[in-house]
Structure 1
Amino acid sequence: MADVQALLQDSGEPTLEQAIATAKERFHNVVLNIAITGESGVGKSSFVNAIRGLKNNDKAAAPTGITQTTTAPTKYPHETMQNIIFWDLPGIGDSTFTSSTYMKQFNFQNYDFFIIVSASRFKENDLFLANQIKKMNMKFYFVRTKVDLDVNDQEDMGVSEEDALQKIRKDCEKNLKSLKSSINPQVFLLTSRNLKRFDFQKFVEVLETDLPEHKRKALILSVPVYSQQFLQKKYKILKREVWAAAITSGGVGGIPMPGVSTVFDITLASASGEA
């Protein structure tokens, strides 16, 4: 009984019944649907794998290749948090999915936000997607992938990484302006090979700001750890929310959201060992 009273106090709710209801809402009703879109061959599937903490050759990874490998919206739940779902959408712009049919074939209103991916220059199809998403009053983000390859090429010519990144960023901004768009988005420079590099931290921070609180926490718990600071942030969320897990299941080991127990143990151990 003392344990229950302690959990009830941590929850901040006046009654056990209300605490249980709040706990169930936190862990069962928070679903985050993230759509990854863009033209074919830009690395969308690799990005889906990276943000789920997987390598391209892992068993549960999205198929990747030099040809079109995604022919229908494909659902990829997070490995340990099944309510965080990444949707790998088919590439727009080829003979199968033209801009005139793309929006009609896929239910864009079903997603929380969109990540428009490009590996070189953003094109008219990317801007078309952004404008259509904007019309629906939904969030979207431009992500420029494979930046590590460009940086390596520039370094071979004697250009520093900082100058190379600045050059790529300016090129992206100039490229989007050349499409004569009223959209003036921030472009995030990333590489799916190593999310710790470049703009991934900034990207996650922007997503955190834009999402409502309950979905923000779910995002933070699902994203791979890219820094000690982010590891501590995960740990603090888990520490605050563990009362809900315990009150719903009778203990951390039986948390009804798959993988949270493991994430808590790993995060706790990592935070304690590296702090």
Structure 2
Amino acid sequence: MGTSKAPDTTRYEVALAKIKEALEKNDQNLAVAKIQEYLDKGQNVPLNIAVTGETGSGKSSFVNAIRGIDNKDEKAAATGCVETTMEVTSYPHPNYPNVIFWDLPGIGSTNFPAAKYLKMVGFEKFDFFIIISADRFRENDLKLAKEIQRMEKKFYFVRSKIDDNIRNEKISQREFNEERTLTQIRNNCIQGLQDLRLQSPQVFLVSSVDLTLYDFPLLVETLKEELPELKKEAFVLAMPNISLDMIKKKKKAFQAKVKYFAILSAGVGAVPVPGVSVAVDTALLVGVVTKYVLGFGLDIPSLKRMANYSGVPYEELMEVIKSTLIAVKVTPELLLRLLVQFSSLAVLLAAEEGTRFIPIVGIPISMGLSFTFTYRSLNMILDMLADDAEKVFARDDEPQEERALFKCFVYKLQPKMLPMP
């Protein structure tokens, strides 16, 4: 019995064939365009996540938080103390537009009665549902969950505004214990769902003020594991850097594809045209490295969103960064300046061009050198960027709990300064 090829392998072979065809026609620009086309296809796996719940449950704040943006951001979902979502509204991830979070109107509202809710919001297009409540889950939440279950899709219960509960308990209790309070909230939600005849419900406790706290990391891991294989990578890369483990997961996802990019590079190395291999290799590297920067949230817009969301000044985040590829436009010139600083890579680059024109053995040697140059370059850059992402996360994470409490405090005093439901 024959074995079928993995989808990634097949896609790389098709991309390689198109690139080689363009180069054989001496069309370097078309070759570069084919590389970019392949890179874009890798990011176009659609993922549609529905966020729903009753009016005032904190849906919009959650949609903003999971995309890593502040409620005041121009791309933010509108938030407020009354129902602000009056229709099904899509909010693409700022760096991964194929990953879309859908802010759905509150179930049971006048315009969206529970009995017709799923049909009215366009149930079919969503990969899974996140059902949010700010206190106990109610009859409408259960009806929605059972209908989703009947249609063989996944749903997850999220109890929001946990930061409010913790702050209030700290004020009201003489002997406050955070873990005990969290357990009581979780058990209360689970018992409420069981009273409504839902068996073995799982409830995730989340604060949209600070996603690193409570159950959000567990929620992300659960969602990732239950997604189809092709959508797992899109989901992981779109998630904010909520932990060092998340950064490592992103690095692992990127690393898994390095060998295929090196194969593309080797294929280009087979074309005996002076300068073409280096030029196309560099264009390939620029495209891939740009994806790395976006995935780790190290581009300027992402860093500024992180600064706004976390309260750490942008300048302070930049202070811990070492790589010259961060918060700038990645260009071929910038990459080459960086790579030739490493003697082993500079030797590989020079040898690749020099060996291509050796009779008989030149092309195979050049292909091997091209593969090695791209493979080593991408792994080296990936290590650098992941290291910087970890440093930025550590700087961002140091005073998180204090900032979260401060933001809540400011919101209570002056709601217009920090609109949160």
TM-score range, shorter chain: 0.7 to 0.9
Identity of aligned residues (%): 41
| 1:71 and 2:82 correspond | no
Structure 1 stretches of 4+ with a deviation exceeding 6 A read none
- Select which of 92, 110, 114 maps to 1:99: 114
Separation in structure 1 between the aligned mates of residue 261 and residue 69 of structure 2, nearest angstrom: 26
CA deviations 1:72-127 (Å, max 9, x no partner) are 11010001001000000001112221112212312111100000000001000100
Retained in 2: the 8 A contact 1:74–1:88? yes
| Counterpart code for 1:238 | F
Match of 2:287 among 239, 254, 260: 254
The 5 A counterparts of 1:143-154 are: 143-154=158-169
State the alpha-carbon separation in 2 of the partners of residues 244 and 223 from structure 1.
Answer: 24
Describe the shift of the 1:220–1:81 C-alpha distance in structure 2 as closer, same or farther (beyond 3 A).
same
Give the Cα separation in 1 of the matches to 2:188 and 2:146: 21
Q: Does the alignment pair 1:212 with 2:212?
A: no
TM-score normalised by length of structure 2: 0.57
Letter of the 1:222 counterpart: A
Conservation of the 8 A alpha-carbon contact between 2:9 and 2:260 = no
Change (3 A) 1:239 1:230: same
- Other-structure match for 1:271: 386
Decide whether aligned partners of structure 1 residues 233 and 105 sit closer, same or farther in structure 2, where only a CA change above 3 A counts: same
More helix by share: 2
**Unmatched 5+ residue regions in structure 2?**
1-7, 19-36, 266-279, 299-381, 392-421
| 1:32 and 2:47 correspond | yes
Q: Bigger CA drift: 48-57 or 24-33?
A: 24-33
CA distance in 1, matches of 2:44, 2:255: 20
Give yes or no for contact 2:247–2:296 (8 Å, CA) kept in 1: no
What RMSD in Å do the two structures reach over aligned CA positions? Answer: 2.9
* CA distance in 2 between partners of 1:32 and 1:239 (Å): 22
Matched, 1:138 2:135: no
Larger mean CA deviation between 237-246 and 194-203 belongs to 237-246
Match of 2:372 in 1: none
Q: Which moved more, 1:214-223 or 1:13-22?
A: 13-22
Q: Which residue identity is paired with 1:115?
A: I
Equivalent residue number for residue 5 of structure 1: none
Deviations 1:212-248 (A, max 9, x none): 2221111110011111121111112123235667859
Shift in alpha-carbon separation, 1:72–1:271, aligned structure 2, 3 A:
same
> How many aligned positions are there?
263
Contact 2:194 2:201 in 1 (8 A): no
**What is the distance in 2 between the residues matched to 1:120 and 1:79?**
30
State whether structure 2 residue 241 is matched by structure 1 residue 241: no
Verify: 1:54 aligned to 2:86, yes or no.
Answer: no
Please tell me whether Structure 1 or Structure 2 has the larger radius of gyration of its CA atoms: 2
User: Could you say which residue in structure 2 is the equivalent of 1:222?
Assistant: 238
Q: Is the contact made by 2:54 and 2:132 (CA closer than 8 Å) also made in structure 1?
A: yes
Amino acid at match of 1:139: K
Which stretch of structure 1 is more off in the superposition, 171-180 or 243-252? 243-252
Q: One-letter code of the match for 2:178?
A: E
The amino acid across from 1:174 in the alignment is Q
| Distance of 1:265 and 1:36 partners within structure 2 | 23
Question: 1:28 Cα deviation (Å)?
Answer: 4.9
TM-score scaled by structure 1? 0.85
CA contact (8 A) 1:122 1:175 kept: yes
Letter in 2 for 1:86: F
Query: Unpaired runs of 5+ in structure 1?
Result: 1-10
Matched, 1:176 2:193: yes
1:26 positional shift:
5.7
Matched residue, 1:8: none
Q: Is the 8 A contact 1:23 1:245 kept in 2?
A: no
Q: Give the drift of 1:57.
A: 0.4
What's 1:196 paired with? 212
